[in-house]
Structure formats: structure tokens, C-alpha cells
Amino acid sequence: MAEGFQAPRGTLDWLPQRSAARRAMIERFRQIFEGAGYGEAMTPIFEDKALFARTAGESSEVVGKEMYLFEDQGGREMALRPEFTASIVRLYLENGLSRDPQPVRLWSAGNCYRFAAVQRGRYREFTQVNAEAIGSDDPAIDAELIALQLRWFESLGLDGLEVRLNTIGDRADREPYLDQLRAYIDAHSSEVDDEVRRQRDLNPLRAFDTKDPASAAIMADAPKITDAVSDEAAAHFAAVRSFLDARGVNYTLDPTLVRGLDYYSRTTWEISWPALGAQSGIGGGGRYDGLAELIGGAPTPGVGFACGIERVLLALEDQDRSPAPERQMDVFFAIFCDAARPRLHALMDQARARGVAAEADLAGRAVKGQMKQADRIGAALTVVCGDDEWARSVCVVRSMASGEQTEVSLDELVEHLHNAKMGTA
RNA sequence: GUGGGCGUAGCUCAGCUGGUGGUAGCUCCGGGUUGUGGUCUCGGCGGUCGUGGGUUCGAGUCCCACCGCUCACCCCA
């Protein structure tokens, strides 16, 4: 290890067991969203830096200091994607999807990259599953996305989720409100801490996030954006809530909930699993009706969310649950005769070609060790072939559950294994 | 980027105020069962004590730096 390499800080190695869990989670996500009419979209892992800079906002941490940037050999400024939404909207515009029936609904899964301080649940390379609906401002979509997202969590066996919901109005509502909020902070300037004063200039909405109790008390009485939104946005939010209420979705209203990316408008939400501690946010999203214009497209409404696979998996592991299916093998080949190995390996391959999951000893194990291996991998059957059987061109097929053994001619072995598999399946 | 805790076999960990690394548990491999698993039992493999310096006659144990993990700030998935 001293002279060796370690995975880069903030990255994870995925061994088979967790890889299976991860894949099962994504597969579940796929089933749920494709069952609701969402199609899979994949975008490049890197994009023009400006795509993210313009959409997420220069004042956001993500753009300000967390992007992985590089200049390619052609001198282009590129960034590894810190999130999906900007890429998906870019995809929508670039591929003319505004000509498709609206809204265009897409889901994605893949790695994102942010150069942030590493801790449990926060990694520099991490995986998000993502869903976006672009081209309609129907409040039913906001509610549908939240409901589907919750269905995913529940299908994985995660209990005790908290859903927080808010509306931050339209961009046009924002400036007058921000002036109001800045004025309030200025009026209480001497009573709040540096953090609030810093946010006042940077992103006043975030001033509500202060941890300082005195400042928090002051901010508790500050004007809330929820009260400052237009009648139209308020009506939209009321409609979102009615769609959620009709489904029986539990949520709490949090008028200080502001998502960290500047492009959000109207509905915002966050789902957390509190036991995870500081990185308890396992999913979040919102509406971004102004985003398409920011990157040169026609005004196009949109709404979407993302969930962090690693965090959800940590939560599941904390509950001693794994979404990974049991590993199973149909047949193990236990061969105690060197001369027999080539022929039996060939037969094993033929069985595999017919859909039988099979493996053989590859470690030179003794008899006992090979049987133990068969047991360990959960093989339903073990093909046993030693000198005696090989001399007679047969083998013994043992049922690992019952211990029952039958002798089978090597010529009929593949057919026998195939039938056994079909019979039990 | 800033603080606190931690870093001994593949994994989980003992190791008292510095005096030669633990028959430790689990895993893995083998024997007990001349060719048959899950239990039991015996044995074996496996460590430059995170890395590099320093103090000391002597450092896993003390000091410093770095790397990594972890908790929190922050940020967000």
C-alpha cells in the first residue's frame, strides 16, 4: 500500500455486492418512471463550462468553487457535470424536442462531479438518478414527480422520510422581494451575524439558513417569499398542493426552503432521511421555468428533481436493507479429474449458452473445497466428475438442497441441466 | 477551505504509564470424512502496526508533517 495507489479522494470503489444494489436501485427507478411515460436520456459527462455557470448561477457554491474544470486540447473550457438539469434542458433545445408532444419527460442516471469537502454521504464523484418534465407548467407534473420520487424511496424500503415543500415564485416576483428582504436585513444589520450579512449580498434567500440562534430569531420575522409571490404563482402552488393532497402525500410547508441553484422558480422541494445526519438530503427538485431562456432557447417551463444514489444506499444500509437480489447460480461443476476438465468446461459453456448459470472451480480446490464453493455460491445443482465417472463418460448431478444424486451421461448433460433449470423456473 | 476524533492481518478489533506484534474473532485454504457442502473440530496462509521524519539505548505506544476515513461547519444529491 505504501508504494501503491489509492482511489482519488472523494471517490468510491464499487464491489459486486454494492454494485448489484446500485443497479437494482436504478432499475427500480427505471421501472417506476417508464411506467409513468418517462424515457431514458443520456448526456455527456462533460459540457461547456458556461452551460452550468449560466444556469446554476455564479453565486452558487456549485459553480463558484465546486466544478471540476479543464481545458481540452482544443482550448475549450469544459466542466464535468455537477448535476443533470442544465444538460437535459440543453438536450431538449438542441434536439428540437419542443416539436415533440409536450411535456417531454426524461429520466437519467449517471455520475456527477463536485469538488467539495468529503464526508459520509458527500463524495466528489457521485451518482444521481434524475427525472425532468419539460414543456408544460401544469401543476399536476410537479405533484406527479414528487409522488413518483416517493414511490421509488418506498419501493426500496425506506421509511421515515421528510418532505419539505415551498414556492419561490417567478423571477419577476424575485427582485422586488429581494429588495424587501435586503432592506429588512439592513434594518437589523447589527443584530445578525457575519454569515447573514454575507448572504445578504450574495444570495439573500440563503440568509434564512443561518445556524446562529440570534440571527435565526431575527430572520424568523423577515418577510417570506411565499407571501410575496404573484397571484398566478400562488394559484399554481395551491394547485400543486391539491394534487399532492388528493394522493395523500405528507409534506410540510417550509417558506425558507430555497434550493441552491439559481434557476429554480415556483415549486421547490426537498426530501430528507434525517438519520443520515448532515448529508440527510437524499433528493430535491423544483420548477425552473426560466432556465431554457438562460441558455438561449425559447421560454419553456420545466420541472425536475435528482436523488443521490450513495445517500439512499447509506440510508438503506442503516436500515439493514439491501435492494440487491440474492446472488444465484444454477450449477457448479466440481471436477476431480484433470483429464476431464476440458470436456466438462466445454459442456459448461454449452449449458451457459442455453441460459443455465454455471461456474466451475478455478482455484485448484480439493473435493471438500469444491463442494463448499458450490454451497457458498448458492448453486442449485452440482455436477461431480472424478476419475471413475470420466472413465465411463458420465457424471453425477447432485441436488444441493436434497442431497439426491443421479448419474447422467456426458452426452445428455447439457439437455439435463437445461431441463432441470426450466423445471424449477 | 476550517475544527474535533480515528488509522494495528482481507474484515472487526486487543495491545496497561514506550521494553521483542495477538494460540483473538470472522473470512480464505487444508486435514478430520480413501471422492461430496451448510454444523463441529484441528491446522495453515496472512502484518514494512496509513506514509515520511523526529525524540529515545529502545516507538504500535510520545512529537511533527503528509495521506486517508469519520463527525461537524459549509454545500448539496
Strand partners, A405: A398
**Straight-line distance from CA A244 to C1' B76, in Å?**
25
Is the minimum distance from the CB of A15 to strand B below 7 Å?
no
- For residue A290, the tally of other CB atoms under 10 A from its CB is 21
| Rounded Cα–Cα distance for residues A304 and A292 (Å) | 13
| Rounded Cα–Cα distance for residues A23 and A324 (Å) | 8
For each of chain A's 425 residues, which pLDDT tens digit applies?
334 677 888 888 888 888 999 999 999 999 999 999 999 999 999 999 999 988 877 767 777 778 999 999 999 999 999 999 999 999 999 999 999 999 999 999 999 999 988 888 999 999 999 999 999 999 999 999 999 999 999 999 998 899 999 999 988 888 888 889 999 989 988 888 888 888 888 778 888 877 777 888 888 888 988 888 999 999 999 999 999 999 999 999 998 888 777 788 999 999 999 888 888 999 999 999 989 999 999 999 999 999 999 999 999 988 888 888 777 899 999 999 999 999 999 999 999 999 999 999 999 999 999 999 999 999 999 999 999 999 999 999 999 999 999 999 999 999 999 999 988 54
CB A17 within 8 A of CB A324: yes
Is the minimum distance from the CB of A159 to strand B below 7 Å?
no
Reported pTM: 0.92
| Rounded Cα–Cα distance for residues A379 and A397 (Å) | 12
ipTM for the whole complex: 0.86
Q: Which nucleotides of B are covered by protein (CB under 7 A)?
A: 1-2, 28-31, 33, 35-38, 48, 50-52, 67-77
- The residue with cell 471413475 is A388
| Rounded Cα–Cα distance for residues A6 and A49 (Å) | 29
CB A119 within 8 A of CB A4: no
Is the minimum distance from the CB of A384 to strand B below 7 Å?
yes
Is the minimum distance from the CB of A407 to strand B below 7 Å?
no
**Straight-line distance from CA A2 to C1' B61, in Å?**
21
Is the minimum distance from the CB of A117 to strand B below 7 Å?
yes
Nucleic strand B contacts from chain A, 193-232, CB < 7 Å: 195, 199, 206, 209-211
Q: Which domains does chain A have, with CATH numbers?
A: 16-170+229-318 (3.30.930.10), 331-422 (3.40.50.800)
